[in-house]
Amino acid sequence: MFALWYLSFAIDEIRKHFGWFFANIKLKGANKAIENKQPPAPQPQPTPAVAPKIAETKPAPKPAPPAPKPVVAPTPAPSSPKPIEKPAPATPPTTPTTSPSIKPTPSPTTFKKEVVPDALDKKLKEASKPFENGNEKLKTNLKDATTGFLVNESQKEPERKLNIMVDAAVLAKLEEGYAKLAASDSKSLLKKYLTKEVFDSLKNKKTPTFGSSLLDVIQSGLANHDSGVGIYAPDAEAYTVFADLFDPIIEDYHGGFKKTDKHPPKDFGDVSTFGNLDPNNEFVISTRVRCGRSLEGYPFNPCLTEAQYKEMEEKVSSTLSGLEGELKGKFYPLTGMEKSVQQQLIDDHFLFKEGDRFLQAANACRYWPSGRGIYHNDNKTFLVWCNEEDHLRIISMQMGGDLGEVFRRLTNAVNEIEKRIPFSHDDRLGFLTFCPTNLGTTIRASVHIKLPKLAANLAKLEEVAGKYNLQVRGTRGEHTEAEGGIYDISNKRRMGLTEYQAVKEMYDGITELIKIEKSM
């Protein structure tokens, strides 16, 4: 009788004085799992048999006007395994929602309320079982064991801090790369805005879900001083965690989109207002309009696992196979594609080129060509790139200057695909993409055009084009030269204006360039 009384007294005493240790064990256990990059397995969510109708992005809670709303992490797709190289999620979001957000790490108070009484009672009830037969020796063992345990726990450094520190090797690479960039004559926006103050304030940060560091963000620009921009977002949270670098670059590139600005809702406008830029086919070779889309629930290239690449390719291929009419076509994986077929598609400007050193340096080409491919209709006027720079590039293009027809086809395609696949969208930044230059509308409307008089002086052509917010590139896109006098000229701004306005800027600018060419 006395033994039982003593035991219940001991239990009460332990609970009163050391209950929080058991709470910490629970927390520490979770931390340990994270440390070992084996996050607690997310609860498997039933994969919808058919891709759900795109969830309307829930109206975000109204942030205080000056404070931009943080970009939220994509909730990892239910079946997608965690990325291998990156630290496991500190607090893996567990409930895929239409507007995923980072779950706050439960506080010890939370644990105390939910965990201590049950775990403590269970543990001690288990331990007290031998006493039912009144075995005095076991009572002593329990008391010694409990005391020993509690003393031991009190001497451990409670690992309440999750593994959010940037490791020494990354810091060394950052310092070295920063010093070289600072000493270079680079004209990149990275060099312009990564001041020592910004560098020091960001170098120890990591994104909470995928552990992306500043190195993951800037490594392409550190390796390629001839970058125009030099940074990419390894995952959606990078736009928030490293906002002190992204925001000024976004403002500069997109012609004044401030960190307190909010991108307007999607609006393709009245596409019939766009006619043919060059009805007599004197200057325009071909016209193209593309947009980028990121699949909700997946991070960007540097954080994707090979399994995720393959999973996304399967999702995209099966979804697009349901398209009808002018959009009906076939998906062609890059894996197994005849090199001659691939090269012909690239030469005809239908397929993305390989070996882009900027993307390679950004860790965007791992597992190539796994999960990469192209979908197109029979006459290649509607195409979709899968997992090149962005998860998707949705493209409409054709010979000649009929921008109205090209833009109508694109809007039809985007509307059809959005019914089948939910895309990552942020309340402030618009549609999310790997590169900050493509955020917002993600629209690039371009012509392949010959302007022999204007182009006789490339600097002059770029100056005039710049007045209309147009960007001049070579025939095969950025960082390439013109071939046969053919330039790729397109709208530069993609944020702070609607899809219609972005295309209109291109339409009006090209119209002016042709006028000037004719007047020379």
**Residue 357 in marked binding region:** no
235 binds ligand ADP (CB under 6 A): no
Pick from 19, 40, 96, 228 the residue near ligand DAR by CB under 6 A: 228
389: contact with ligand DAR by CB under 6 A: yes
Minimum distance between the CB of residue 180 and ligand DAR, rounded to whole angstroms?
16
Binding flag, residue 392, ligand DAR (CB under 6 A): no
Binding-site string for ligand DAR from residue 86 to residue 105, where x marks contact by CB under 6 A and - marks none: --------------------
Binds ligand DAR (CB under 6 A): choice among 21, 22, 257, 358: 358
The angle at the Cα of 202, spanning 200 to 203, to the nearest 5 degrees, equals 70
Contact 23, 111 (CB under 8 A): yes
Give yes or no: 473 in active site.
yes
Let me know if 393 is a catalytic residue: yes
* Distance from chain centroid for Cα 382: 25
286 labelled ligand-binding: yes
Please say whether the dihedral angle defined by the alpha carbons of residues 83, 86, 91 and 97, taken in this order, is positive or negative: negative
Which option in ligand ADP, ligand DAR, none does residue 370 bind, with CB closer than 5 to 8 A by kind? none
Please spell the DSSP secondary structure of 293-359, one letter per residue: E-BTT---GGG--HHHHHHHHHHHHHHHTT--GGG-EEEEESTT--HHHHHHHHHTTSSPPS--HHH
Does the annotation list 305 as a binding residue? no
437 contributes a contact to ligand DAR by CB under 6 A: yes
Q: Give min distance, CB of 435 to ligand DAR, in A.
A: 3
Backbone angles phi, psi at 186, to 5 degrees: -55, 145
Tell me how far, at minimum, the Cβ of 166 lies from ligand ADP, in Å: 29
Task: Fill in the amino acid letter for 312.
Answer: M
Q: Strand 430-431 vs strand 392-399: parallel, antiparallel, or unpaired?
A: unpaired
Q: Is 478 in the site for ligand DAR (CB under 6 A)?
A: yes
- Considering only residues 333 through 372, tell me which ones interact with ligand ADP, judged by CB under 6 A: 349, 353
- Token reading at 298: 């997946």
Q: Residue 397's binding partner, choosing from ligand ADP, ligand DAR, none, with beta-carbon cut-off 5 to 8 A by kind? A: ligand ADP
Which window, 115-123, 210-218, 259-267, 476-484, contacts ligand ADP (CB under 6 A)?
476-484
Contacts of 116 by beta carbon, 8 Å cutoff, 6+ apart: 15, 19, 20, 22, 23
Three-state DSSP class for 389? coil
* 448 binding partner (options ligand DAR, ligand ADP, none; Cβ < 5 to 8 Å by kind): ligand ADP
Distances (CA, A) of 191 to 206, 229, 363: 21, 9, 20
Q: Is 303 a catalytic residue?
A: no
Write out the residues near ligand DAR by the rule CB under 6 A: 227-230, 358, 389, 435, 437-438, 478
